[in-house]
Copies of this chain bind each other. A is one copy, B any other.
Amino acid sequence: MSAKQPTIKEIAKRLNISISTVSRALHDHPSIGLRTKTRVKELAEELMYEPNQAAIFFQQRKTFTIGVILPFLSEAFFSAAISGIEDVAGKNQYTVLLGQSRDDAEREKQIIDTMKKHRVDGLLISISKHTTSYEHFEMLKKSGIPLVFFDCIPNMPDIHYVACNMVSGTVQATSFLLKKGHRVIGLINGPEKLYASKQRKEGYQIAMSKHRLKYDPSLIVNSDLTKESNYKATKELLTHKRKVTAIVTFNDYVAIDAMQQASEQKININKDVCFVSYANLPLVQHLKFSPMASVEQHPYLQGQKAAEMLIELLGRKDDERETPGSYKIIVDSQLMIFPQ
């Protein structure tokens, strides 16, 4: 049982040759005689030899591991994203180390520490919504660990990232409603300081001005994305002095709460008040109340792109990596309209 794994040394001893010969034979080094090579390979096979990656990682100062830090895997967006990451990583012989921040800045910091300890070759991060200080990211940069952000990105100069352009998604969402004749459209936005919220706000404003409508700031309300806050925001819009006939919500979860709340107020969902949202949850069309449309953010694609970017970065020689500036990829969001 559990006989300890054979090493090249073991093979060398048995064959009465040197370990370097064994190493080379195993690597198909051209200078090794066919005879020796076969002998080595056969014995390796027989002993079920497997190179000790730990030793190789150590020797090559590389772990072939990338760390992925994201808020919640339970959010469909992230589980899709990590699949994209995993696929790209796997194709490139990299492996994925996982850490969920649970939207807790402290936890995020701690995970980064652990990953640094584990000497991941690089990191993919979607920051927690409570992360405000960015020192830990700076620190990583300084220690030469490449970093690619995706989806939720910090407001820092010179970072590599992949993100979705929420502005255009929001323009589409709002325009969709405007074209349907709505004139008083509310927006339940996320926390004000979030970049994602700023983009939605901007998109909303652009759509309004495109349609030559005056922008009414009181139609945008912020929620901290808890159920209570979502309810409150919804009530605020539903009791607005102007009659709100359509609401754009920060994401599908917010939409669920908003529609629930509206329905309790005897409002006919998507009749009296129309809803449009973001995320495009897999189950969204099966919901009791579902929005008329939802902005797809292509999480799998974002994951792929981010992983590709990171691996590209990792492939470079250290000196090339010094290149100033940063990579950015913007994935276009897209309004998915559901059949009614």
**Shortest Cβ distance from A49 into chain B, in angstroms?**
11
Task: Let me know if A118 and B73 touch, CB within 8 A.
Answer: no
Instruction: Find chain B residues with CB under 8 A from A53 CB.
Output: 117-119
Task: Let me know if A143 and B5 touch, CB within 8 A.
Answer: yes
Task: Let me know if A99 and B86 touch, CB within 8 A.
Answer: yes
Interface assignment of A157: CB less than 8 Å from any CB of chain B: no
Instruction: Find chain B residues with CB under 8 A from A48 CB.
Output: 143
- Binary interface encoding of chain A residues 83-112 relative to chain B, with 1 for a CB under 8 A from any of its CBs, else 0: 100100010000111111000000000000
- Binary interface encoding of chain A residues 214-253 relative to chain B, with 1 for a CB under 8 A from any of its CBs, else 0: 0000000000000000000000000000000000000000
Task: Let me know if A286 and B74 touch, CB within 8 A.
Answer: no
Cα-based distance from A269 to B111 in the complex (angstroms): 46
Task: Let me know if A144 and B2 touch, CB within 8 A.
Answer: yes
Task: Let me know if B79 and A1 touch, CB within 8 A.
Answer: no
Cα-based distance from A318 to B48 in the complex (angstroms): 20
Interface assignment of A45: CB less than 8 Å from any CB of chain B: no
Instruction: Find chain B residues with CB under 8 A from A82 CB.
Output: 73, 98
Cα-based distance from A83 to B103 in the complex (angstroms): 13
Cα-based distance from A100 to B84 in the complex (angstroms): 11
Task: Let me know if A100 and B83 touch, CB within 8 A.
Answer: yes
Interface assignment of A266: CB less than 8 Å from any CB of chain B: no
In the complex with contacts A54-B58, A76-B74, A287-B286, A321-B98 CB distance below 8 A: no
Instruction: Find chain B residues with CB under 8 A from A96 CB.
Output: 97-99
In the complex with contacts A58-B58, A73-B79, A286-B142 CB distance below 8 A: no
Contact of A97 among B4, B5, B97, B281 (CB under 8 A): B97
- A110's closest neighbor in chain B, by CB? B90
- A318's closest neighbor in chain B, by CB? B2
8 further interface pairs, Cβ-Cβ under 8 Å (given A2-B321, A95-B97, A287-B287): A1-B322, A5-B143, A50-B117, A53-B117, A53-B118, A58-B58, A73-B79, A287-B288
